[in-house]
Structure 1
Amino acid sequence: MRLSAELKAFVKNALAQYNLPLPEKSDLSYTTGRDSMRGYFPDPLVKRSVDMNLRLIEIYDHEFSSIECYVEKITKNDNGRDYHLLRSLPGVGRVLALTNLYEIGNIQRFESVQKFASYSRLVKCKAESAIERQLT
């Protein structure tokens, strides 16, 4: 993911470096955005470099999608009930549901809802200094 983000940043920076406006469709996460960038640069060397980066982005996107589909298939088979419950929550898509399932693991390992909330960093920590702790 980091490498894909770096490639996208390179293309966006090249636009700024050559003082070119953003094309109407410029989101490089989508095929239409990548297609609008092909041939957009007048300098043939820059055009070639950008085109290479766009091809690498496509390779990464294809691989990420393939891995996500594979993991989702296994999850539906092994833990389908929990996966579908997570997906039923507003704002929880494929990746977030999978991340939550594999990050949390077996929910039964938490003794209470409070312990789970703390693990998830949903509980605001009490701010106190070492001196305050010594006084109490």
Structure 2
Amino acid sequence: MDSNNASWALDKSNLLTTEEMAQFVARGFVEFEAVVPEEINRAAIAEFELTGIADMVRPKPKSGALLSDIYPDPSPIGQMLRLDRVQGIIHSLVGLDAVYDHDWVHVREAGDILDQYLHQDAIIDVTRSFDIQLFWFPHDVVPGGGG
């Protein structure tokens, strides 16, 4: 997105705080509870249930597209990405012109111990650019409960 373009207006109150940035640097992640409204979560769950565990049928944006341009309404993924708080988090970590790489819905059942294959791209990606992975759980997740 061109920073002069107002399609994603930056509200500084949604940027990460110094403490949150320090947490990200120290731990490699930062966690936020209940950022996404329940109606968006319900719409996402309905969409993901159509896809199932094999997330091959859901149309996905082209890699390299601006994050601000992907998943137009009524997509619940786009609605989540356009939330002021989510935009502030992304802008804090990678700037205003974030570029989309890829996404995949991973459905994990409670007690499933196979987790390594979820993010192999994070270790084989040969690009030198800094990137982030967004994890969104549109439902409650408790320890041992899957996700």
TM-score bin (small chain):
under 0.3
Which is helix-richer, 1 or 2? Answer: 1
Please identify the structure whose Cα radius of gyration is greater.
Answer: 1
TM-score with structure 1 setting the length: 0.25
